[in-house]
Structure 1
Amino acid sequence: MGSTATTPARPGFGLAAASALVVGSVIGTGVFALPSALAAYGPISLVAFVLVTVGAIALALTFRSLNARLPGSGGPYVYARDAFGEFAGFLNAWSYWITAWAGNAAIVVAWVGYVEVFWNTGHHRAWSVVIALAGLWLPAFVNLAGLRSIAAFQVVTTILKFVPLLLVSVIGLFAMSRANFGAFNASGGSGWSAISSAGAIALFSYLGIETASVAAGRVRKPERNVGRATVLGTLACAVVYLVGTLAVFGTVPHTELLGSTAPFTDSADAIFGGSWAGRTVGVAAVVSGFGALVGWTLIVAEMPRAAARDGVFPAVFLRESGTGVPAFGIVSSTVLASLLTVVSYTSFDQVFTTVVLLSVLTSVIPYLFSAAAQVYWLATEAQLRHPLHLARDLTVGLLALVFSFWALQGSGEKAVYYGVFGLLLGVPVYVWHKARKGEYGEVSPTVISQGATR
């Protein structure tokens, strides 16, 4: 690992690459595995998907406004710190960091399901773990190779996965059978409870809409390109998600979908007949997941690096490789994602759903603080804004805030337990870091030392 010295300017991402980073990070393997996770709730989960899409677009518009105010790497961490102080910024950076590496664990679990269309078709758990670890560490090596390779890789993998996914989704609309959908609400509970629970799972598929703002320091003309990339990327993903999930529900019988590890492969086989179509989609899913892991492995290190630059995270997160990428953040986060993956495969029956809900909960906290920061700034600057513009922006900000609370309550007791526990683990880290630096809030070190000698 290299030093923490300032690195020379690099070309960075343009609008196309920044949009590809958003789409590549959002459309990972989530969309490819999500229909099976949502099948437990039935077609009512499509209602949840629509509501989540509206909330995701509100968040994308909120991030666009926030980045225009505070351009630069860090995203939700920077917004919370500027609006509510350093400790709020730390909690957001810590929570988002957990989201990123826990999300990588969820992505790689779904990715393994499609790799096993070609190899380890018997789903032997030991080999599944080996495949998953390879899926985590190969993207880490791609990132350590440098930013230029990441930008090119994101554009290529986004095209390779987006086109066949959209093609299968659209053609699938004409091959649907009403009998495949099953009961509208298959959960056995109330309709609103099913929508809330399905919505929390569906939100995972939109994690990453903020990636352009997190890596804004690496985007050319961030004041223009970050906002555009965020909104364009989110809208593109929304179209594919809604059409694709509907097509899978309508082409794969509900009972088969419940146990499927590769639902889009099953859908393609049902649409076109024969295994060639499913294998083609399987290749797209493998490429998609790998591209998402490459993007998220970069993002997972950007948030703690931005916080470390402000002295909120340990300075070790500033260490870079010779190619100028945050090497310590990449390696340490990949180690944590690997540990979570191994634990998930050995301890949880519903591996994908469990890890998804954990990463959703820890991601919603930064989303909530970001929306709250937007509402706070709009309220404090109300007299400086045109009434119509204020009403528009405030409506979007409040919608994003309400959406974040809704996603929190839908995450489930287990996710809340593990998520809050992981979040609060950051408190002693913050205390240790501040004490090590000799910073004691508003009370000076001199006063503290005098009190200790009495």
Structure 2
Amino acid sequence: MGDPRGHTGAPTSGATALGPEDTVGGDVSAGGRLGLPGAIALVIGNIVGTGIFLLPTSLAAIGSVSILVLLLVTIGAIALAIVFGRLGSRIPAGGGPYAYARDAFGEFAGFWVAWSFWLTAWIGNAGIAFAWVGYVNSLFGWRADNPLQNIAIGLVGLWIPAFVNLSGVKNIGLFQMVTTILKFAPLLFVGLVGLFFVNGANFPAWNASGGSLWAAIALAAGLILFAYSGMESVTIVAERLKDPVRNIGKASIYGVLACAAMYLLATIAIFGTVPAGQLTNSTAPFADAINNMFGGGIWGKVMAACAVVSGIGALNGWTMLVAEMPMAAAQDRMFPTPFARLSRRGAPVFGILLGTILTSIMLVYAYLGSEQGFDTILLLASFTTALPYFFSAAAQLYWLVTGGRDVNRGRLVRDLAITCLALLFGAWIVYGAGADAALLGMLMMLVGVPVYIWVKAKRGEYGPNERRGVAARNETV
């Protein structure tokens, strides 16, 4: 392909005619780089959004089997975090799943994964904003049945992080650290203290979905994956990390483990403190749990405030990712050039603005075009998330089974087992997202093919056979 970087996903050093205020692949070190604490905060902040704050409501409607599913999904998430750590230490140039797929399977696979993740980022932001609105209403005592009011609140929540991201990476890291601390501690508090208030009579039926047990398990898995999406955050922004070879793996694994402990404890605590009938109709289950534990009063408002902070932090981190993935692909000339343009502050302005606009449209659809807006967004985002996860695990498997190097057989067997588990996990989530989400997600994936054709045509490339034919004809002439 004529790529001097060997498909690493690293930015080019050459400049293009983008104007004096923009750069392609410019040095962002002036804006600061994230160390290990900041990288862990980015992972936790992106994983723990407002999705977990509303997820117990959806899971209660499925049944207590969701707790078992949560445990199984957690095992798969940890396997994926380990795989991301291995991939990130070997390919630390940035781009995450996009770079891994391109390195293993070629250009189109890399584009396909980049497109899928880009869809995930802005669709998922709509899900975070949707749940965030419910806690804003709970915090201020506003009615939650006015869609226009909810849309206005959600748009505020989407555009505040957009302006933070436009201000540069240094402010992103500081904002992420503060919001992560403010939200993680109270969530863990609910998970730990709530265990002392658990009443077995409050738990929903084992299978409350009304369908088969297997269908309930698959649906719960599809919903729960969204709560873990974001574990790959540091692999995408590797170029903005200090010592990415070491810190990518550490941040991914530590972040997932911390979130896994909190998720399991909090879900059990909420199931045990909020009666199933109340929980399935709740728009702020964590606030309801606090109120039930301490008899109402100010504590429910405190938890609602924590959820509001959590949502802003998650939206801040995901707004960063919604621009970073296409930026890495654009630097490899695989996404339209505007995605690669950086401002003087190192911010990919076009990606941030376009992603936020598309998220805003999705949020409006969730309130005006769908009766089950939150679940619809979660399942669609789960499908588009699972594809990059699957291809990342496949890239690691491809590297492990490729010969030509000395290996430790014991370590190889261990790594193969972890990688195969992550691969199966990704495939399972595609199935769990359901037929409707898979159909809509596939249609959105196909929209990317004309974009790929357009970008490739702009490069003047028509495939190796065509180029050889042109060269042969020129020599004949």
| Common topology (TM > 0.5) | yes
Q: Name the structure 2 match of 1:220.
A: 242
Unaligned runs of 5+ in 1: none
Does 2:312 match 1:283?
Answer: no
Q: Distance in 2 between matches of 1:86 and 1:326?
A: 22
Look up the match of 2:179. Answer: 157
Residue 188 of structure 1 aligns to a residue whose secondary structure is coil
1:59: which partner in 2?
A: 80
Over residues 12-48 of structure 1, what are the superposed CA-to-partner deviations in whole Å (9 max), with x where a residue is unaligned? 1000000000000000111111000111111101111
In the TM superposition, residue 436 of structure 1 has moved relative to its aligned partner by: 2.1
Give the match for residue 67 of structure 2.
46
1:207-227 per-residue CA deviation (whole Å, 9 max, x = no partner) reads: 000001111110000001111
Counterpart in the other structure of 2:51: 30
Aligned residue in 2 for 1:92: 113
Q: Is the 8 A contact 1:106 1:355 kept in 2?
A: yes
Whether 1:72 aligns to 2:110 is no
Deviation at residue 344 of structure 1 after TM alignment:
1.4
In the alignment, which of 9, 23, 45 is matched to residue 29 of structure 2?
A: 9
Residues 38-437 of structure 1: pairs in structure 2 closer than 5 A: 38-119=59-140, 120-381=142-403, 384-437=406-459
Which secondary structure does the structure 2 equivalent of 1:118 belong to?
A: helix
Distance in structure 2 (CA, Å) of the matches to 1:165 and 1:181: 20
TM superposition shift of 1:8: 5.0
Q: Measured at CA, do residues 367 and 8 of structure 1 come closer, stay the same or move farther in structure 2, by a change above 3 Å?
A: closer
Shift of 1:450: 11
> Residue type of the partner of 1:18?
A
Shift of 1:444: 3.4
RMSD: 1.6
1:232 CA displacement: 0.2
Asked if structure 2 preserves the Cα contact closer than 8 Å seen for 1:73 and 1:302, the reply is no
Deviation at 1:192, TM superposition (A): 2.1
Q: Which amino acid aligns with 1:59?
A: L
Deviations 1:424-444 (A, max 9, x none): 110111011111221111133
Distance (Å, rounded) in 2 between the aligned partners of 1:450 and 1:177: 79
Q: Deviations over 1:320-357 (max 9, x none)?
A: 22211111110010011011111111111111110011
- The question of whether the paired residues in 2 share the 8 Å contact of 1:96 and 1:303 is answered with yes
Q: Which runs of 5+ in 2 are unaligned?
A: 1-18
Task: Assess if the C-alpha contact under 8 Å between 1:172 and 1:271 holds in 2.
Answer: yes
Which moves more between the two structures, 435-444 or 327-336?
435-444
Cα deviation per residue 1:397-444 (whole Å; 9 max; x = unaligned)?
A: 000000111111010111111100111110111011111221111133
- Whether contact under 8 Å (1:59, 1:367) holds in the other structure is yes
Count of matched residue positions in the alignment of Structure 1 and Structure 2:
451
| Further displaced range: 20-29 or 412-421 | 412-421
> Which segments of structure 1 move beyond 4 Å, counting only runs of 4 or more?
445-451
CA contact under 8 A between 1:360 and 1:411: conserved in structure 2? yes
* 3-state SS, counterpart of residue 28 of structure 1: coil
Give the partner amino acid of 2:126: A
Q: CA deviation at 1:394?
A: 0.4
C-alpha contact 2:144 2:150 (8 A) present in aligned 1: no
Q: Please tell me whether the aligned partners of residues 203 and 407 of structure 1 are also in contact (alpha carbons under 8 angstroms).
A: yes
Offset from partner CA, 1:280-304 (integer Å, 9 cap, x none): 0000000001000001100111100
Q: Structure 2 CA distance, aligned partners of 1:296 and 1:368?
A: 20
